[in-house]
Chain A
Amino acid sequence: MSLISLKNIYKIYNVGGEEVRALDGVNVNIQENEYLAIMGPSGSGKSTLMNMIGCLDTPTSGLYEFEGEMVNEMDDNQLASIRNRKIGFVFQTFNLLPKATAQHNVEIPLIYGNVRRDQRKNLATEALESVGLGDRMHHKPNELSGGQRQRVAIARALVNKPSIILADEPTGNLDSKSGQEIMEIFDSLYQTGNTIILVTHEDDVAKHAHRTIRLLDGKVKEDIYVAA
């Protein structure tokens, strides 16, 4: 059984009386421990597909099954819960809480997941150590470099042991060296069995992945596997 199964997904917006098909009949299956890049020019439906996979959005029609749960039928609370338990988000702009320490930032998903305090501390420490920030736990975002901030964000995405890690242009705001370091972290996360989905328009980033889905005008234009 697939980890993620999208069947006939449509997302239709009504913009000023005009129908916009952001996703126009998308079929995608994603297996466990895949390393996938979603690519496409702006307006191709790339972000909409990412939001759909990330359970931030529900389709206008179609079936979305996530580990056997029917996402397309979920309400806001259920969506929040599945995001909390099964999806780790990494954003282009990091989206850390500026006034909280690295450790506290990493603890946030655990707080929403109602994890006990002592356990939270251990899990956060573990996650930060796994991205090489064991010595930066009590720093606030403004005391960290861009690459370090993104690593905190990755630690935050990892901390709940999610089924997928969903990264939206994770290197977009970083210099090439930091970007390279971040990609190395994704590579090693993949090697330890995680499922990683990258959304990017950079070929350099996408080439880390083993499968590339290209979108154009809301449709899957190509879906290629590259041998590892």
Chain B
Amino acid sequence: MFSLFIENFRISITSVLANKMRSLLTALGVVIGILAVTLMGTLISGLDHSFEKSMEFLGKDVLYIRKYEWFGDKEWWEMRNRPNIKIKHANSILERSQYAKYVAPVSEWYTSVKRDANEISGVRVTGTTGAYAMISTAEIEKGRFFSSSENRSGSRVAIIGKDIADNLFENENAIGERIRIGNYTFRVIGEIEKQGKFLGMFSLDKQVIIPIGTHQRLFTRRGWTGINVRVDENNIDNATEEITALMRQFRHVRPTEDDNFALNRQDPFKQQYSMIKLAIGGTGFFITVLSLVVGGIGIANIMFVTVKERTREIGTRKALGATPKMILMQFLMESITICLFGGLLGLGLAWGGSFIINQYFPSEMPIDLALTALGLSMFVGIISGLAPSYKAAKLDPIDALRYE
């Protein structure tokens, strides 16, 4: 049986190579199908990777009290009229909430950062307190975070992100050096580890962190303020409810009125993301199924032609002792070979494509998906080869031998 398998494989290869152009065109549907499914898989794996990193940055147990909702159907102009978030409420939450573990007020403003002639513009300047270090997942790589006395006294000290360190200091040690944030001179006291991009949109490393008091005085007039709360991770829902109630109380929201602030979490990101993922996956799946079906029909068609062309050969083989099953296997194998060839070509192209995707965000071609894709192309080969092969197997040897 094994020599028959080898023989069938030999016949298939010979036949595919003898009609190179025809095989290629026939396999094109499968090529596109496999390309689509693999590239989609690569894309999703890359998205997953980058999304998880971004979600890590937000933290699953952190509530972001903001003026604006991150998601939802509220109109922006309605939210614009809400009162600003006040820094003093950070302390009140810490005092009154039983679920809040760390609370840090945050102010943000964007400006340029300079050192001598080097300048980076559009740097995120975050003003906060020492609690920020306990809420953020990013670690201090060198130096330290500012102390509470530095915070209270409004010292001009800064912790810089990796982009700032790399661009302004290159190989030098930044700790203790001076930089200009906007028009003010600050002393660098710490450096944060590399965090990468948030959802591939903006760099988390292009930031400096300074005491909130300093921030208030120098920048906050123009920026916005919010409060980050790290809560007990086993009671996130309870904490959300409790802190919403506290905020309503602090801001004197009447029971009949809606919240005039937002409690943002990473969860809606996840929901949004799974919808995007579903959309990509759905599109990829649709393209794959469509091209595999069309490709399969093409292969069935060309296999019928092949069987017709080789009717005499089939007759001869039958006369020489091939059973119907052996003939069936021969043509099935040929159909599978065309599909596998298409599948491998598609995988090759996808492999190349995954390098291009990798340029934009880190991803890799999932091996299990590649194997599934190959299995899928074999399956297409079997399905579309079945009818033509059966026809070949059932040919009457006498008619086949007489066929001109």
Contact = CB atoms under 8 A, between A and B. Distances in A.
A108 B398 contact: no
A76 B317 CA distance: 13
B325 A83 contact: no
A59 to B, nearest CB: 13
A77 interface: yes
B321 A97 contact: no
B398 A114 contact: no
Interface in B311-346: 312-313, 315-326
Interface string A74-98: 0011001101110001010001010
Interface residues of B, number: 23
Contacts of A147: none
Given A77-B323, A81-B321, A81-B323, A95 B401 contact: yes
A108 B3 contact: no
Interface residues of A, number: 28
A144 interface: no
B321 A77 contact: no
Contact of A111 (B3, B14, B324, B398): B3
A160 B317 CA distance: 14
B79 interface: no
A221 interface: no
Nearest to B319: A89
B398 A56 contact: yes
Contact of A85 (B14, B315, B321, B323): B321
A97 B313 contact: yes
B139 to A, nearest CB: 65
A156 B324 CA distance: 20
B324 A112 contact: no
Contact of B321 (A91, A99, A109, A116): A109
A214 interface: no
B177 interface: no
Given A51-B398, A77-B325, A91-B401, A116 B320 contact: no
Contacts of A54: 319
B321 A112 contact: yes
B18 A156 contact: no
A80 B321 contact: yes
A80 B313 contact: no
A57 B398 contact: yes
A91 B381 CA distance: 34
A77 B316 CA distance: 15
Interface in B285-327: 312-313, 315-326
A12 to B, nearest CB: 15
Contacts of B324: 76-77, 80
A95 B318 CA distance: 12
B320 A84 contact: yes
Interface string B386-404: 0000000000011001000
Interface in A95-135: 95, 97, 99, 108-109, 111-117, 120
B396 to A, nearest CB: 8
Contact of A76 (B1, B14, B312, B323): B323
B3 A120 contact: yes
Interface in A31-83: 51, 54, 56-57, 76-77, 80-81, 83
B25 interface: no
A121 B330 CA distance: 22
Nearest to A96: B316
Interface in A131-184: 156, 160
9 contacts: A51-B398, A54-B319, A76-B323, A80-B318, A84-B320, A89-B319, A95-B313, A99-B18, A114-B3
Interface of B: 1, 3-4, 7, 14, 18, 312-313, 315-326, 397-398, 401
